Each structure stands twice: as C-alpha cells, then as structure tokens.
Structure 1
Amino acid sequence: MKLQTVAAMDVGSNAIRCLISDVTGLSPDKSVKKNAYLRIPVRLGADVFTSGRISDARQHMFMEAMTAFVHLMRAYDVDHYRICATSAMRDAANGPELINSVGRATGLEISIISGVEEAEILFEANVFSGWVDSDETALYVDVGGGSTEIIAVRNNTLLEAQSFQVGTLRMLAKVVAPEEWLRLDAHLARMAEIYRPRQIIASGGNINKAAKLLDKKEGKATSRAELQALYEDLRSLPYAERMARYRLNEYRADVIVPALEIFLTVAARSGAGRFVIPKVGLVDGIIRHMCFHGGADQSRRPPAPSFRDIP
C-alpha cells in the first residue's frame, strides 16, 4: 500500500533535476520506488561563473521550470517536496532575489545548501551497501557543473566530506581558482595517505553517460584505464564530431570531457584504481533523507492548487 508520494528537485549549475517517488510500507520495512524523473538543461552556472549573476533569459527559463514542477507535483498528487539549490545559486549575486520571485509566483520554497550539506545529502543516497567491503574505505565523488564533492566512507559510515569549487562549467570558463586546485590536491594526498582507497563511487550525469558509452551495467566496476581511454578519445574529437560519433546532445558533449578529467585526477591522486557508477545523485539523497533520516521537517507540502499567479 502506498504511504505517500514525495518529490525532490536539485537546482544544479548545469541542469535542474526532478525526481518523484512513491513510498510504501512502514518503518523498518519502508521502501521507495521511482515514479518519474525529469532533467531540464537550464545552465545557471554558465552565467554565474563568468558574470556573477543569473541573466534575465535564464531567470525566465528557471521560472518556467519551477512552474512546470508545480504542475507535475499536482499531476502526481505529491504529499511532500524539497528543493535544494547548489553551487551556481550559492554564488549568484541575484540568487536570493530570484528565489524570492519564484516563491511569490509559485509558492515554492527553495533551500540554498552549502557544499558540505550537499555532500552529506549525497551520502544519504545509500549507494555503498553491497559495493564496498566493510573493512574498505571508498571515496564517493560527485562532479557537477560548479563543484565537486568528495566523501570518505567505510562500513556505511561517513568519515568526512569536503566540497571544492571545481566543476565542469567552471573549467570550461577557465575560472577555477589556482588555490582551489591546490586545496583539492592536498586533500587527495591526505586521503591517499590515511585511507588508501581502492575504488571511487562516482556520481553525476557525465559519469553516468560515460558508463553507458562503455556499455557498463549499473554497479559493474570500470577500471581507471578504461575511463582514461574514453577520455582521451573524447578530448581528441572536435565538438561536432564528438556529438555525432558518441550521440551526445549539445548539453553533454562539452561538459563530459572536463568531468572525466576531474574523476581521473581524483583517482590518480588518491590511488584508486577502479570506479563503481551506481547512477544516483542528489535527488536520490534528498528523497531518502526525507523518508528515512529525519528530513521530513525540512520538506514542504506542495502549493495549494491555485493557478492565478502561474502562467
């Protein structure tokens, strides 16, 4: 019997992701089943990481996406939702103003979360069970458009989490601060010395696409050499040929190269030799946090069904 329907939205730098899930059963036998998933390529970071602000055009796109989310929640009869905004919205000078405008127009509440909060919610996605030996430390690495989150985990326990302003859109715009690269390098050197991780649990749209290109089933290990070979081939191709040969859309063809560069850098510096790609992300963590880990107090009920202020 269905207990409730919940929705999560990740307002990322490269795209907006929405997940709607049905929750069945009661604790401790509660389970979550994905119902609908939607990705909207609103690249907030393309503006923010170069100008510090979200342009009028992308503000309009964002408002349209949020309006669609309201309609989607009503169509699926959602009971609770949570929206988390990450790196681009954190950095945008007009981010709070835009969130207030969306709230007035749609009734939606959006939380801007810190990089460490983002990492902790990612951990809630529970991707480690069954793929990491109890006595082994693994690194969970999520690469986005604006930031990279790195979590050290052992025996399903979060040991530490860090966020770095190193992301695909920042790399394409060549705006990653040199000191941030140094901070990342020092952190990975420490991870290698303390934990000696053998594998990376990798998440994000680009690594999911890489797994598909390599014909890897979910959870099947990918070697560093396999990912390196794919990276070298993608990097060698002009943008248009990359799209044609690998059947990549325009919103994936440019960012996949810097994403793989980040993953390979983390692997090389930490000493990890393989990747496991479970195809989960922040929205999965938000859902699980709401359902299993006391996050219900941070969720909201969908706005009342009044269309007066929504085009």
Structure 2
Amino acid sequence: MAAIDCGTNSIRLLVADLPEPAAGPTASMVDVSRRMEIVRLGQGVDRTGRLAPEAIERTRVALAGYAAEIGDLGATRVRMCATSASRDASNADEFRAMVHDTLGVAPEVVTGDEEARLSFTGAVRGLPADARSPFLVVDIGGGSTEFVVGDRGTPGGETAERVRAAISVDIGCVRMTERHLHDDPPTPEQVAAAEADIAAAVDRALSVVPGREAATLIGLAGSVTTVVAIALGLDSYQPERIHHARISYDEVAKVTADLLSRSSAQRMEYPVMHPGRADVIGAGALVLRVIMERAGMPSVVASEHDILDGIAWSLADPS
C-alpha cells in the first residue's frame, strides 16, 4: 500500500506492507519506503487565500518522483490526503487536477477532524505497553494543529483505538511565522503576538477536546521531532532515538527560547536541522511549548509515526 500526506510545509510518502485483518489490532505494518520533501505548498496562503504557482510546481515535481517509486515497488492501493493549505485555497481545483494528472488518483482534501483521527491512529499504534491512557495527541503542522484525545482500547478488541474528541485549529509553524515572525530572528514583540495568538487557539481547542484530562501527551510532526532531537543533543537526525523519546516541559521551553533567539542561518548550526524547516521551527516550537503550558503537561513523548501511518492503516480496511 502507498500513503501520501501533503501538508502545508512538506509532502511525504510511505510504502508499506500491511498485515492481514486476521492478525488483529496489535499487528505492525512493515515499512518498505519512507520519503519526505519540503515543498512549502502553503506559501502565502494565509495572506492571499491562493496556492502559489511555484508552490504547486514544487509539489508536482516531488509527487512525480513518488509516483515513479510507487510504480516500481508495485503498490496495489494508493491514498493521498491533502491537509490545511489545500483546504484553505481558493484555487484548490487547480491543485487537485495536478495531483490526478501526476499520480493517477485524486487527492482527498480531508477535514480537520479526519486529519486528527488519522494522526491519532498513526501515533497510538505501536506505543509501548506501559504508556498511560488517555492520550492527548497533537500534530503540529505547517498551517494547522490537530488535537485529539482518545484511548488505545482493549488488547484483542475489535479496534485498537477509541477517539473521544478531535479538533483542528489554524495554528502551524508556517502560518504563525508568516503572520507574526517577520524579522530574522523575530523581535520580542513579534514572539509575544504569536504566543497570544497560539494561546487563544489552544484554549479554544481544549474547550472542545479534554486534553487536560489526558495522562500522556504525544507530539507529532517535524516541529516536535526536531525540538526533541535538539533537546537530546543528537549529532544527526536519528529517527530511532527520537521515536517515543520523552522530554520535559523545561527542556521544551529552553529549546524554544534558543530557537527564537537565533536567525535561520544560526539555527542551521544544529546538525539535526532540515534546511527547509529552519525558518519556521521557532514558531513550531512555540506552539508545542504553549500547548504544554495550557494543557498542564509536564512532558511530551515524540512519535515518528503520525498521520502518514494513519493513512496507511486506513488502507487495511478494503471497505
């Protein structure tokens, strides 16, 4: 099976072998290939309401490479989900036509709630047995952040996860950078404005999703995993060390303050920093820190498995 997640900042591919349904809810998928390209599809969407032609072209080039790999690996089913930027854009039809021409299937512009539920499935399957439920899963993307609270479920039951509530709010690392953090590095006034904007959105989300009742916070996507990699002091980006690593609120706050005090070029001094993330990671870290503050979470567990894995798991059901 092949799953593609097209977000505001990046487009990612997972080709995997899925277990037979009879294997039960604790069975694992087997990765065949994982790829990620920074295409910044959401460039300027918050300001213009449209996908920029150059952003669509960057996405087309990456998608053409993915289509070739999917064909070479012989994937039998393909699902592509497009998220925040393509929901917001007035020229989304142009984007969808490009995807169909390039990939051969139409993209699903999923709702925020569906995005959150897919993220939850991807994050919760495979957690250590001693991870305490309920879980608050937050997926900090480029244009939006998804909040979902739920439980892993009863081992041996018909489903492995039970979602209690989910919501998507328009705070993400690209959107907050473009809206507030105009200087490089941002000024204290710009950071304060971004923090106030984020806090208001987080409080709205937590009024719908009972995140303060959760026992474990799980953070998804590149902003979280990069912050965790920096906190761990890694000399290279090592997914196997980042996946399910736990860091404290104090560590998150320290990394966030450091990132926001640096220019994009100075952030590249971190060996774990992806070049396409350096200009927006300060805002992403700030979103994580504010979520932890407002939800009262003393620590966060990073997951390298997220909506992309949830999309792949959704293909296990042929209905």
TM-score of the two chains, using structure 2 as the length reference? 0.82
Contact 1:222 1:274 in 2 (8 A): yes
- Alignment of 1:277 with 2:302, yes or no, is yes
- The match for 2:222 among 189, 205, 213 is 205
For residues 75-224 of structure 1, the aligned pairs below 5 Å read 75-127=72-124, 129=127, 130-133=129-132, 136-156=133-153, 157-174=162-179, 182-188=200-206, 195-215=212-232, 217-224=242-249
> 1:50–1:261: structure 2 CA closer, same or farther, 3 Å change rule?
same
Q: Partners of 1:168 and 1:23 in 2: how far apart?
A: 32
Q: Partners of 2:135 and 2:103 in 1: how far apart?
A: 41
Deviates more, 1:98-107 or 1:205-214: 98-107
Map of 1:10 onto structure 2: 5
Q: Which runs of 5+ in 1 are unaligned?
A: 1-5, 298-311
Q: Partners of 1:66 and 1:197 in 2: how far apart?
A: 37
Look up the SS of the partner of 1:173 in the other structure. helix
Q: Which runs of 5+ in 2 are unaligned?
A: 154-161, 181-193, 233-240
Look up the SS of the partner of 1:253 in the other structure. coil
Offset from partner CA, 1:184-209 (integer Å, 9 cap, x none): 314336767x8533431000112112
Look up the SS of the partner of 1:244 in the other structure. coil
For residues 1-80 of structure 1, the aligned pairs below 5 Å read 6-25=1-20, 27-28=22-23, 31-80=28-77
Q: Partners of 2:102 and 2:29 in 1: how far apart?
A: 31
Give the deviation of 1:66 after TM superposition: 2.2
- The number of aligned residues is 286
Offset from partner CA, 1:277-306 (integer Å, 9 cap, x none): 121121101111211xx3x34xxxxxxxxx
Deviates more, 1:117-126 or 1:161-170: 117-126
Map of 2:255 onto structure 1: 230
Give the deviation of 1:247 after TM superposition: 5.1
Q: Partners of 1:118 and 1:190 in 2: how far apart?
A: 16
Offset from partner CA, 1:174-226 (integer Å, 9 cap, x none): 178x888534314336767x853343100011211222222264313211111
- Alignment of 1:248 with 2:273, yes or no, is yes
TM-score of the two chains, using structure 1 as the length reference? 0.84
Map of 1:286 onto structure 2: 311
Contact 2:5 2:82 in 1 (8 A): yes
Contact 1:52 1:92 in 2 (8 A): yes
Look up the SS of the partner of 2:45 in the other structure. helix
Contact 1:191 1:270 in 2 (8 A): no
Look up the SS of the partner of 1:277 in the other structure. strand
Deviates more, 1:60-69 or 1:213-222: 213-222
Q: Partners of 1:211 and 1:44 in 2: how far apart?
A: 25
